[in-house]
Every structure is written in structure tokens, then in C-alpha cells.
A and B are shown apart, each in its own frame.
Chain A
Amino acid sequence: MTAVAPVAVPIAPAVHRGRSVTWWGMLMVIATEGTIFLCLLASWYFLWAASKEWPPAGVELPDLKLALPFSFVLWGSSIPVVIAEHALRTNRIGTFRVGMAVAFVMGAAFLVSTAIDFNALHYGWRDHAYGSAFYTIVGLHAIHVLVGLVMNAVVQVKAALGRYDRGHHRSAEAAALYWHFVDGVWVFVFPSLFLAVHFQ
């Protein structure tokens, strides 16, 4: 169009703040998934407010014997993940693997406790809306824990095969972030579904 040749402008680099696009993408996944849980908890309280008795007459309150201690196991599992993340940034893959493995065991233990709790319930999810809500919300969270465990396993295998040795570990950062999210959701779900019904 014009005869003038375009000019090149030298561009200086910015300081790398260390968050990959994968990490940002995972953050957005968390935002939208977090909204799902918010809507579910809002639904829980909506049904509760509209009911005469919650849980309905004759339905047992949630049992805290396993749920309470294992909730702390789940929340606690974020600590080894934080340590693992730190190790990753300083390229100590060994520590990273140990941290993730410890978290894996803790997460798996939580899942087992949830399964035992589910098994002991005397009602199903078809019996009443309370049951539907309880099973759906706790079950959906359990699925998220399971997904976290799968991610954890994939990341472990990658680490074991030396794929993080060259300083690139976007998938590991994302998996760690997801793990914190799953723990964080439980901070809202547990008090609403397990504790609040005991105090009314």
C-alpha cells in the first residue's frame, strides 16, 4: 500500500512472575466449578428454609464420628501439597514426589471415610429432597476428590519419568491448585451439610 518500509521496535522482556497460562486456565475452571458448589449450597439452604423439618422427621442427623476427623485429614492434605509446590519451584523433584504422595494417601483416606459414611446411612437419595441434596452435594465433592487423585497420580508418574526435570511443570502447578480448590470447597460444604443441621 505504502512504499515506506515498516520499522522494527526492540522490545525488552518483562520479569516472569511465574504463573503459566495453564495455571490461569485452572483458576478459571475453579471459578466456574466453585459457582456450581455455591449454587448447590444455596439450593440446600433454599430447601431447608422451605421445609418444616430438616432433615425430615425420622431421618438421622449426619454422623460426625468419621466425618469430622477425616475433614481435617482432607484439609491437612493441602500442607504437603504446598511443600511439594515449593520443592517444584526450586527443582527438588524428590521432595515434590514425596509431598504429592502423602497428599494422595490423605485424600484417598478421606474418600474411604466418605464411602463408609454413605454406606451407613439409612436413607437413599430417592426418599426425600433432603436425601437427594445430601447425596448429590457430598457425592459431587467426592467425585472432585477422585479427579484430584487422578491428576495427582498423572503428575506423580510424569515426575517419576523425569518430565519435570527441565524446569517446566505447568501440569503439576495446575494439579496442585486444583487440589487446594477441592479442599477449599469442603470448608463450605462440611459446615453446611454436617454441622449446621446439628445446631437448630
Chain B
Amino acid sequence: MTLATPPEEVVPLEPLEELWHDPPGLVGFLTTVDHKRLGVRYIYTSFAFFFASGLMALAMRGQLSEARADLLGPGTYNELMTMHGTTMIFLFNTPVLAGFGNYFVPLQIGARDMAFPRLNAFSWWVFLFAGIFMYSSFLIGKPPDGGWFGYTPLTSSTFSPGLNIDFWGLGIVFVGISTTVGAINFIVTIFKLRTPGMSLNRMPIYVWSMLVFSFMVLFAVPAVSLAAGLLELDRLFGTAWFVPALGGSVLLYQHLFWFWGHPEVYILFIPATGMVSMIIPVFSRRPLVGYLWIVAALAGIGFLSFGVWVHHMFATGIPPLAMSVFAAASLVIAIPSGVQFFAWIATMWQGTVRLATPMLFCLGFLFIFLAGGITGVMVAVMPFDWQVTDSYFVVAHFHYVLNGAVVFPIFGAMYFWGPKMTGRALSERLGKISFWVMFIGFNVAFMPMHILGLLGMPRRIYTYDRGLGWDGINLLVSVGSVAFATGAGLTLLNWIRAVRRKEPVPDDPWDADSLEWATTSPPPEYNFAALPVVEGRHPLWDRRPLRYATAGGPGTEGVTAVGAVERRTPVTEGFDTRPEEDLRIPRESWVPVATALGIAVLFVGLLVNAEIMAVVGVVGIVVAAGVWAWRTEEDLR
């Protein structure tokens, strides 16, 4: 029984179900605009890339496990290294966070879908096609090999002829479209579709984190798209943006790249902390300590992270004063991160901690985050950075941050929200085993890398000589990597077993506080039979059963009826978030996949230098987008 479900006479469920149901089979698959189906798809697609990229990492670690191994040649190593880094950042971390956001933002704010459901479908298709685009480079044996940040002049057509880098450059621009469009959708959804009573100061921290994530994406991604786009202009059309002999600048590329690159770290980190801020209170059985402080910290990190990009370029010979400013800013950013850290500790301190699997992953995260944060402060100090830059110390640092502080919360979220998404329970026992194997494997793999760095082992080498004192440590690192991967594999196994189980889980298995738990597991297509009314920060802890909204004046007939008579969700306004108009949720549509396909044709045309194909792609985009714009008004009554 759902906690906010009004009696059947008020909102009959059967017509609702009929109205919201996707067509079955392939047609439904291609045309759906349901944020939950798309969210799950986002998550599954990203995890497919995660495991692919993990296998590449294992191959690299195999090569490095002993001196002078010959598992991989230097060329192959470069390719795997580039695709591993690129995949993890662009095709796993960013989209998996967008996937969780897709699924849970509308649920947590009590909406029936995103503000632009078709755009949502479009952004998943673009992500999928961009991923396939980049990975198709393996099929013709030309994967990108210029490192995940594609520094020019190495990646210029002079030093890297061939399609390899073009797959990368075009792919980055391609996938950037998906990320940006998704961010726009989140912002409008969060600002305009909150259920009655959910004022900004009652929004779950996770929703706040997705809001900050989206704004950061909006202002950061253009820079990387531009860096990669201008690189491709140079490569494909012979312009001179990054050609020093003709007045171009390679440093300009680095500035553009890192103007995105540093915020990107926080773009990944912030939603991960948002997940932690949801999980820790639930398993400490008390509200989060310092809600407002955490919101301020999220906004502060988002803002500050745009002012520190030059710390990635300390070794490029920028004037010392300028560098000092950036170094100072990099240290300041540790403060809001510290605020969050203490808020989590305080929450556990004052609560009664329950060590379920999601909570274990959060504790693991706290430990790893602390270590990664400390090495982060270390490399933000210039003289230290000059010593360790391009060494394994840096590899250790960013894996602590990216693999530890982002991936652990994501796994925690899989265990926390998995039952909601699949309607089936994950095994706690297997979950705990998976956690411990991952956690120990992680530290065995990445802790010794710090030492390797201090011993002088440079990053991005495919082999090394005996007798440098690196052999044993490298073997240890490789063993740890295998352990970590095994642990992650156990969670995959756990998930597959859960999905095949028969017995359903209750609506709210964890006794949690936010609105996604106020509906069935998995939620019906329309999310809530009637929209819940929010009266505090923790709707399900404040009042059970939840009260639900009903019409209270002209123009609000929609509120209860919403969904009962049409596919609608209210647009709300003002501090007390009252409904101002109804938004129709469009039915399933072919337009998103068609538009995305047009973009794919355009990019392949550019890649293989087939002008006609590129033109066909553009025409396809214009036609599909035209049909789309044509139908906008149909979404209204």
C-alpha cells in the first residue's frame, strides 16, 4: 500500500495505468519518454562502459605488474589508457549520475516526469550514440591514443595523423550535447515541477546537489566542447587555432580544457555527496545535521571550482603571482568540503547507526575521501606539485577522488535505491562481501601508488626496468586492482540475482524520509496516484500517511485529477510552491531518437570526411527538430 494513496473512489487507478502505459515491445523501447525507464537505461548503459573500461584498466595493470612484461605494446597501452580515462569520465561517471538524477529527481520532488520528457529521451539516445561512436574506433583498429585530455600538439594532425584522435575529439563534442541537454532539463524540472509545499528549503539535499551539478555542467561543458571542437577544426579543416607557427597557442587548449576539467571533478563529486547526504541520515535514523550549511557548501564548491583550473598547469611556466592566486583558491575549496565532512560525522554521532550495505559504502567513501582530500591539498601546493606532477602520485590522487569518492557513493546508491528501481531486494550478505572486497582491493591498489610516485615512477609508461625498486609494489597494485574489480563484479552478480527474484519489496524498506519511498517499488508510470503535499524537510518522517493534494480553487482542478484524466503534472510557483498551470506530459514519440540519429549521421560524416553524409545529417536534424517544435503547443490543454 502506498503511503499517500488516496482512496480508490478519489483517484481510480485503472484509467491512470492505461493512460500512462508505454506501447509494448520495440516500439515502446524506441519511443518511451518515461523518466524512470530512461533513468534505468542511463544507469545500465553507463555501467556497461564502466565494466568495459575496468577491463582495460586490468589489462594495463597486467602489463605493469612486472618489469619488462610484454602483454601490451606501447601503442596498445596508450590506446587503452586513453579509452579507460575517457570512458570513466565521459561515458560512465557523468552519465551514471545523470541516470540516477533522471530516476530520482522527479520522484523526490513529487513530479510525474521531467519538465521536458522528450528532451530527456533525446539526451539518452545521444549519449548512447556518442558512446557507440567512440567505441567503434576499436572495430577499425584506431582507438584514440592521445591521453584523456588530448593535449595538442601531440594530438595535432602533424603528430597524430589518422582517425584515432578524431574519434575522440568529435566524440567529446557529441557526448557533451547529451550532458548539457540533461542539465537544462534538471534545472527547469527542479525549479518548476516541485509538488505543492516543497519550497526550496525543504528540497532533499540530493536534489540540491543535482541542481548545482546542472548549473556547473551548463557553464563548464561549453569549454571542453570548444577545446575538442577547435582541435577538430584544426585537424579536419586545417585552421590554426593551436598551431604556434601560425600564431595559434597550445596553452589556449589547456586553458579551455581545464576550465571545464577542474569543475568536472566537482561535477562528479557533488551528486556523489548528495547521495551520501541522503543515505547517512536514513541509516543514522536522524535528520541530517546542518542542512543549510551543506546547501551553502554545495553552492560554494560549485562556485569556487570555476576559479582554480590553472592548478593543473603549474608546470607550464605561468607567471608566479597568477599561479599563487590559483593555488590559494585551490586550498580554500577544501573548506566547504570539510563542512560537509563534519556534518556527516555529526549526523552519525548523534544518530543510531545501522550498518547496512549502503551505509558501509558511505563509510568507505568517508575514509577514501579524507585520504584523497589530503593528497589533493598536497598537490595544490606548487612546490610539491612540481615534484610529483606526472608521477604515480597524481594517478593515486585522482583515483582516490574519482574512483573512491565518486564510485563508492554510486555503489552505495545502487544498494540504497536498487530495491526502489527493481522492486526486488539485493542480498545484504553479498553486498557486504562486495563492499569489503572492493574497499580492501581499492586501498591495496591505489595506496601504494603514492609511494611509487614518490619513488619517481612516471605516469603513462607502458613498462619499466628491473631494479628501480618498483617491482614488488607494482605487483601489489595489480593484485589490488583485480580484487577491486572482483568486488565490483560481485555487486553486478548481486543485481542480476535480485532482478530475477520473485518476492517484491515493500514501498519503504529502509524507513527513509523522502518522497520516492511514498510510492510503490518500482513506482507506477505516473509515479504518484495523487500528488503528495509536503509539510517539512522529511515528508515521511513528519507525517504518515502523507496527506495528498486536491483542488482548492479554480485552476487547480488538475492537482488531484492530474494524471487521472490526462497525462499532466502541475507547474508550481512561489515560495509555498502552489500550482500555476498544468504541464502535459507528452506521449511516447519518435522525434527524440530521430533527432539523435541525425546528429550521429552528421558526426560520422565529419569523421570520414563525407560531405554529403554530413549534409544529410543536418537535414535530418532540422526536419526532426522542426516536427518537434511544431508539436510544442499540443502539450497544453
Spell out A's residues near B (CB within 8 Å): 1-2, 4-17, 21-22, 24-25, 28-29, 31-33, 35-36, 39-40, 43, 46-47, 50-51, 56, 125-133, 135-136, 150-151, 154, 158, 163-164, 166, 168-171, 174
Contacts and interface: CB of A to CB of B under 8 A. Distances in A.
A165 to B, nearest CB: 10
A158 B630 contact: yes
A22 B249 CA distance: 39
A11 B256 contact: no
B549 A47 contact: no
Interface stretch (B139-147, B216-224, B453-461): B216-224
Contact of A129 (B219, B248, B632): B248
Nearest to B230: A136
B454 to A, nearest CB: 36
B269 to A, nearest CB: 21
Contacts of A12: 552-553, 556, 578
Contact of B632 (A22, A50, A131): A22
A163 B634 CA distance: 9
Tell me if B's interface is mostly helix, strand, loop or mixed: mixed
Contacts of A11: 196, 533, 549-552, 556, 559, 578-579
Given A1-B544, A8-B550, A31-B218, 19 more contacts: A5-B7, A8-B530, A8-B549, A12-B552, A12-B578, A13-B554, A21-B571, A25-B116, A39-B223, A43-B256, A46-B252, A50-B249, A129-B243, A129-B249, A131-B240, A136-B230, A154-B626, A154-B630, A166-B633
B241 A16 contact: no
A74 B573 CA distance: 35
A113 B506 CA distance: 66
Contact of A127 (B5, B191, B246): B246
B184 A29 contact: yes
B184 A169 contact: no
Nearest to B219: A35
Interface in B165-195: 180, 183-185, 187-188, 191-192
Sorted nearest first, the 4 A-B pairs with minimum C-beta distance are A10-B552, A129-B247, A132-B239, A14-B578
Contact of B249 (A4, A9, A47, A135): A47
B195 to A, nearest CB: 10
A163 B571 CA distance: 22
A58 to B, nearest CB: 13
Contacts of B4: 6
A135 B629 CA distance: 30
A138 to B, nearest CB: 13
B10 A8 contact: yes
A15 B192 CA distance: 14
Interface string B230-260: 1001100111110100111101100110010
Nearest to B244: A129
Given A21-B115, A32-B219, A171 B578 contact: no
Contacts of A36: 222, 225-226
Nearest to A153: B626
17 contacts: A9-B547, A13-B555, A13-B580, A17-B573, A28-B183, A31-B219, A35-B223, A46-B252, A56-B247, A125-B240, A132-B239, A132-B248, A150-B622, A163-B633, A168-B633, A170-B632, A171-B632
A24 B556 contact: no
Nearest to A132: B239
B279 interface: no
A126 B389 CA distance: 35
A17 B580 contact: yes
Contacts of B626: 150, 154
